[in-house]
Amino acid sequence: MDIICVRQPEEKSYEVLNGVRVYRLPMNRVFGKSLFFTVLSWSWFLLQAAIKISRLHLKQHYDVIHIHNMPDFLVFASLLPKLMGAKVILHIQDVSPELMAAKAKGPTKKWVMHLAALQEHISTAYADCVMTVGWPFEELLLRRGVPEEKMVTILNSADPKLFPASKRCPAPADIATTEDAPFIVMYHGTTAERNGLDTAIRAVALAAPEIPNLQLHIQGRGEHLQALKQLSQKLNVSDRVEFREPCPSADQIVDFVVHGDVGIIPYRKDGFMELVLPTKAYEFSWMQRPIIASDTSAIRSMFRPQSIALCDCNRPEDFAHAIIDLYQHPAKRAQMVASAAEDYQSFEWEVMARRYQHVLASLSRKNAKKMLAYSATSH
């Protein structure tokens, strides 16, 4: 297996990790740039990736090439290998028209959505297999004409190698014995406006009088980070809101997830986020942390009402009430954790891994005897 991906400043251009050859292209992930700059950046990565994968394919002839969006048109980096018989997977982590609609502003929004829909249509038609990360995405793509026989859903479950069962532990469940300890609400991931972290900060400000040691820990980066810091200062909760840099390595995320009491996912319902099944929800569930989240159709497709505290994304007071409720009722936290664990069983890593292996075997010319998958991602 070879991987082609972006290269951060501190990373090597080539190395072998766990038997996987990693080729990194000199390009950073961009945050907060204009749409024009973003598309230009995507195109530059496409060109570099196409050259790299073509050269590698001529040496070793890949059976399967697995390409992650954004954007969908990265799939065309596989043009030469596909012409020579390789099969291509387009992995749609985000649906482009809805995401572009959430990002675009002003009079350009209409034609941006049109172009996003067009490139999605062409890219899915080109791919041999279209993989999604959730049923809302799958249903949407089927309505847009992607053939059902091309579609497969592989959820972004929590990898037990990164989230080992040995680190699973219940959050403190007895307020009487932990009243001097902080009650930590946590979020990790992108800090864009659509992620709704301003709602989380407002909720903390509202709940603080009832929870003396309440804290909100945010780990991540994004274009909205500075605005969130300013909001916490404006609401006089900067001493309760802690901003952390992303983990330098993926295997350190687990330490952040288990350090807190409650996970929060305050996504906005903007047409795109309504469809997103957040990976952090799987991670919180697997590591036995109760979840407070926006009431979206995607979240409801995964969890039963008793497994998660659902809130109106436009009402910080709803999130504040949920935080106070879980703080005051540790038994409810334990019940939610147990219920969410039951919901998660059918989405566990091993289940999704077997499904993915079946897809690779069905596409491989050598029936999985030599499955060399290539993964290109620009984010």
Of 259, 255, 257, the residue nearest 278 (C-alpha) = 257
In contact, 257 and 224? CB cutoff 8 Å: no
- pLDDT tens-place string over residues 74-87: 999 999 999 999 99
* pTM more than 0.95: no
pLDDT band at 379 (very low <50, low <70, confident <90, very high): very low
| Residue-level length of the chain | 379
CA–CA distance, 1 with 179 (Å, rounded to integer) = 50
In contact, 185 and 264? CB cutoff 8 Å: yes
Flag the least confident range among 118-127, 166-175, 210-219, 319-328.
166-175
Is 150 or 271 the better-scoring residue by pLDDT?
150
Structural domains of the chain, ranges and CATH numbers in brackets:
2-156+349-377 (3.40.50.2000), 165-346 (3.40.50.2000)
Termini Cα distance of the chain:
20
pLDDT band at 173 (very low <50, low <70, confident <90, very high): low
Mean pLDDT taken over the chain: 90
- pLDDT tens-place string over residues 12-21: 999 999 899 9
Amino acid at 230: Q
Q: What is the pLDDT of residue 178?
A: 56
Q: Using alpha carbons only, how large is the chain's radius of gyration in Å?
A: 21
| Tokens of residue 132, six digits | 């999604």
CA–CA distance, 190 with 197 (Å, rounded to integer) = 10
The average pLDDT across 250-266 equals: 91
DSSP letter string, 335-364: HHHHHHHHHHGGG-HHHHHHHHHHHHHHH-
The average pLDDT across 338-349 equals: 93
377: phi then psi, degrees, rounded to nearest 5: -145, 140
| Tokens of residue 264, six digits | 């929060």
